[in-house]
Structure 1
């Protein structure tokens, strides 16, 4: 057994070909040490697909993921790109179009269950199409769904039937977008798991996707999730994710602010209304986060004395593990409704169209940007 433990790092998964490892369950190739002696030797991800019809998320870095994408362009396939509506710009794969070649792209927008109740979904869909086009992504269709709440999944299946035309289906997406939940639904609704799990290796990389057989001999290919460190979800401790990521419809928070006022969003983000006429701002973020208003000239002292306590989580100890704040100075255009988007946190809508100068303080590396309002 000791010899097996020493040598297993040189083994590859018999299911997907990835190098096996027992240190990181969330990374590709994980196998519990107790399973190393079993035959065939397969990673936990392949084991769960084969025996339980259930896929789990694994992640790879950006360079490896881009090499993986490069192989898709050489195939004749349907590409299903899953994004998180709540973190749209943070989860959209930049430059996807140039990697997939002429293959059609079906954009599946997950987590619509988090939107406030009563939303006009046609308007949201039109907004998604516009944003995707602005990012250079050409899509054959956009489907809104919630894999977790089983909303709109019949439309996902209908779109796969419409655009697949007997081809393989490659599923791509970032981490934490609900890809594994959606894959599990596809496995149960769309795949014949009586067949043996099959594999295929991309040229130029040792990281492999898992092929889930379909009845017509083709496959759904589940690719590892790409890690974007520009998302708040990737820089905060796991213990804080339950507070950061909403799990039920958001209840928007509206604040009427004068210039030189500040909002602290927990102890993780600071919003300064630096200059502009009195106007309202609507916060679309997890309702588990505490929001505290103060005057701009008191903000520094308030944060120094009350971060992790009065201002809310993350705790002081957790903040020590998070990158220090970077300031982002943004100018909201007069006469337009715009969102201040903070990847992984949510967004703040400037409602008045009166123009404003805003400073956002967020952990270094987290994407902060202005965009046309979603709502």
Structure 2
């Protein structure tokens, strides 16, 4: 019987017969990999060395099967979310899948938020939002996968709650889960960048088991595709623009009723009714908001999308979904969130509308900052 070999980057079973399918690697590359003890599929190899992503399709059923196994084991579940895209990175219905297993909620990318934000306030805010969707975490931790010293606290917290059990790390795509796992491996085993990481949705293709000292495992799972994220509608270059990599600088606008802000060509915010007040945009520093009159907004978008307001780029405009409108009545300080892009904080009562590509959520939540 032939020994089954798995890609150490994404966990897929290695095969040499079908290019373009899961786990493919050419024979020559396989032989070299076996000689060095590091076998990567072609997809992971290209991603690591050329930052080139190749699409591989996993179905929603695959992810559901994976989630269903979580409740059948006695394990600690570590749910990694992206603080910058908190609502867009929650796994729908996770509390139903985990059974009686405890969940540790880990907010990643904390370094992107303004330093003035107090961690204790942030944690309390996360607990409240988790409770709203039925999740009751045993603890909340804030971290940045880019900061190795923060991994020690994460590992200590995992050790505290796992009580001699396996640990499953779960999250939707793009939350930085694989970067986090790579840091953990580096801390515990001194191996650098073992797992493939990327900004592009869905790079871990099967479960990856990392042995722990007591014979149990820390298990990295594929990123669950969240269908309402902005990332699914953008090309590679634009993904890099919308995903902040350093601390975001809030942009403050004084708006009168009847004014509109465009966030590139990806989203739109209308101030419909209320007293003149401040609106604060929390988006990637590379996105340039544009202000215009509400009455001219449709024509402005039609004329300038792909040019003055981008992303999307001019060659991607024809495939970009139309913007859909969501109206909100605001009574207190509130965030209007564009899933995967950021949010605008409304500081005074009024009526506003958020527009996003068809399929992307726009929601109202209690202000984070």
- Indicate the TM-score class for this superposition, using the shorter chain for normalisation: 0.7 to 0.9
Pairwise mapping of residues 1-375 of structure 1 onto structure 2 (< 5 A)?
A: 13-14=5-6, 18=13, 20=15, 22-23=19-20, 29-32=23-26, 34-36=28-30, 44=41, 60-150=58-148, 152-190=150-188, 208-332=206-330, 334=331, 336-352=332-348, 354=349, 356-375=350-369
Residue 152 of structure 1 deviates from its aligned partner by 2.9
Preserved contact between residue 256 and residue 275 of structure 2 (Cα < 8 Å): yes
Find the aligned partners of 1:276 and 1:19 in 2 and give their Cα distance.
60
- 1:69 offset after TM fit, Å? 1.1
8 Å CA contact 1:110, 1:177 repeated in 2: yes
- Give the stretch that moved more between structures: 167-176 or 62-71: 62-71
CA distance in 2, matches of 1:279, 1:47: 49
Q: Aligned equivalents of 1:45 and 1:156: distance in 2? A: 32
1:350 deviation in Å? 0.6
Q: Quote the offset at 1:307 in angstroms.
A: 1.6
Question: d(CA) in 2 for partners of 1:29 and 1:97?
Answer: 32
For residues 360 and 47 of structure 1, what CA distance do their matches in structure 2 show?
38
Across the aligned residues of Structure 1 and Structure 2, the Cα RMSD in angstroms comes to: 2.8
Q: Hey, what's the Cα distance between the residues in 2 that align with 1:357 and 1:345?
A: 21
Query: Which range moves more in the overlay, 147-156 or 168-177?
Result: 147-156
Confirm or deny: 8 A CA contact 1:191 1:214 kept in the other structure.
Answer: no
How many residue pairs are counted as aligned between the two chains? Answer: 339
Unaligned residue ranges in structure 1 (runs of 5+): 1-10, 49-55, 194-206
> How far apart, CA to CA, are the structure 1 residues paired with 2:338 and 2:269?
11
Q: CA deviation at 1:367?
A: 1.2
Are the structure 2 counterparts of residues 169 and 190 from structure 1 closer, same or farther at C-alpha, using a change threshold of 3 Å?
A: farther
TM-score normalised by structure 1 residue count: 0.83
CA distance in 2: counterparts of 1:340 and 1:308, whole angstroms: 24
Q: Structure 1 residues 60 and 141, CA, compared in 2 at 3 Å: closer, same or farther?
A: farther
The question of whether the paired residues in 2 share the 8 Å contact of 1:191 and 1:215 is answered with no
When residues 46 and 164 of structure 1 are mapped into structure 2, their CA distance, relative to the original with a 3 A threshold, is farther
Inter-partner Cα distance in structure 2 for 1:330 and 1:30: 49
Deviation, structure 1 residue 37? 5.7
Residue pair 2:267, 2:338 contacting (<8 A) in 1 also: no
1:159-202 C-alpha deviation (Å, 9 max, x unpaired): 11101111111111111111111111111223598xxxxxxxxx
Q: Which runs of no fewer than 5 residues in structure 2 stay unpaired?
A: 46-52, 192-204
CA separation of 1:297 and 1:118: change in aligned 2, threshold 3 A? same
The answer (yes or no) to whether the contact 2:14–2:25 under 8 Å persists in 1 is no
Q: Report the Cα offset of residue 229 of structure 1.
A: 2.2
